[in-house]
Structure 1
Amino acid sequence: MEKQQVQSVNVKGFSPKANILFSVLMWIVAISCIFPFLFVIIISFTSEQSLTTQGYQIIPSQWSLDGYRYLFEMKDQILQALFITVFVTIVGTIVNVAFTSTYAYALSRDSLPFKKFFTVFVLISMLFSAGMVPNYIVMTSLLGLKDNILALILPMALSSFNIIVMRTFYRRSVPDSIIEAAKIDGAGDLRTFIQIVLPLSIPGLATISLFAALGYWNDWFNALLYIQSDNLVPLQYLLMKIQANIDFIIKNAATSAQLGSVTIPKEATRMAMVVLSTAPIAATYPFFQKYFVGGLTIGGVKE
Structure 2
Amino acid sequence: MFLTSRRTKGEFVFDLLNNILMVLICFATLYPIWYVLINSFNDGKDAMLGGIYWWPRIFSIENYKAVFNNAGILTAMWLTVAKTLVGVFAHVFFTAMVAYAFSRRDLIGGKLYILLGTITMIFSGGLIPTYLLIRDLHLLDNFLVYIIPVLFSFFDLIIFMTFFRDIPDGLEEAGRIDGANDWTIFLKIVLPVSMPVLATIALFHGVYQWNDYFTGIIYINNESLQPIQTFLYRVVAQSSSNIMTTALQGNAVTKSVTSQSVKLATMVVTTLPIVFAYPFLQRYFVKGMMIGSIKG
1:108 aligns with 2:106: no
SS at match of 1:113: coil
SS at match of 1:61: coil
- 1:96 aligns with 91
1:184 Cα deviation after fit: 3.2
1:124 Cα deviation after fit: 1.1
List per-residue Cα deviations over 1:47-66 (Å, max 9, x = no partner).
Answer: 33443323441124333334
C-alpha contact (below 8 Å) 2:216/2:227 kept by paired residues:
yes
Match of 1:160 among 151, 154, 162: 154
Q: Which runs of 5+ in 1 are unaligned?
A: 1-15, 250-260
- 2:5 aligns with none
Match of 1:80 among 75, 80, 88: 75
- 2:259 aligns with 266
Kindly provide the amino acid, as one letter, of the partner of residue 45 in structure 1: F
- 1:179 aligns with 172
Q: Residues of 1 paired with 2:229 and 2:125: CA distance? A: 25
- Distance change (3 Å), C-alpha of 1:297 and 1:73: closer
List per-residue Cα deviations over 1:140-196 (Å, max 9, x = no partner).
Answer: 12x112211111221211112111121222223x12333233323332111111111
- Distance change (3 Å), C-alpha of 1:138 and 1:47: same
- 1:226 aligns with 219
- 1:132 aligns with 127
Kindly provide the amino acid, as one letter, of the partner of residue 286 in structure 1: P
- 2:113 aligns with 118
List per-residue Cα deviations over 1:113-161 (Å, max 9, x = no partner).
Answer: 11011111221111111111111111112x1122111112212111121
Q: Mean alpha-carbon deviation: is it higher for 23-32 or for 44-53?
A: 23-32
1:294 Cα deviation after fit: 5.6
Kindly provide the amino acid, as one letter, of the partner of residue 284 in structure 2: Y
Q: Mean alpha-carbon deviation: is it higher for 182-191 or for 103-112?
A: 182-191
SS at match of 1:87: helix
Q: Residues of 1 paired with 2:103 and 2:240: CA distance? A: 51
Pairs aligned (count) = 275
TM-score (norm 1): 0.78
- 2:139 aligns with 145
C-alpha contact (below 8 Å) 1:71/1:269 kept by paired residues:
yes
C-alpha contact (below 8 Å) 1:246/1:264 kept by paired residues:
no
TM-score (norm 2): 0.79
SS at match of 2:191: helix
Q: Residues of 2 paired with 1:297 and 1:212: CA distance? A: 17
RMSD: 3.3
Q: Residues of 1 paired with 2:256 and 2:34: CA distance? A: 26
C-alpha contact (below 8 Å) 1:227/1:233 kept by paired residues:
yes
Q: Residues of 1 paired with 2:175 and 2:161: CA distance? A: 20
Q: Residues of 2 paired with 1:159 and 1:298: CA distance? A: 16
- Distance change (3 Å), C-alpha of 1:25 and 1:207: farther
1:41 aligns with 2:71: no
- 2:246 aligns with none
List per-residue Cα deviations over 1:192-228 (Å, max 9, x = no partner).
Answer: 1111111121001101001111111111211112212
1:65 aligns with 2:61: yes
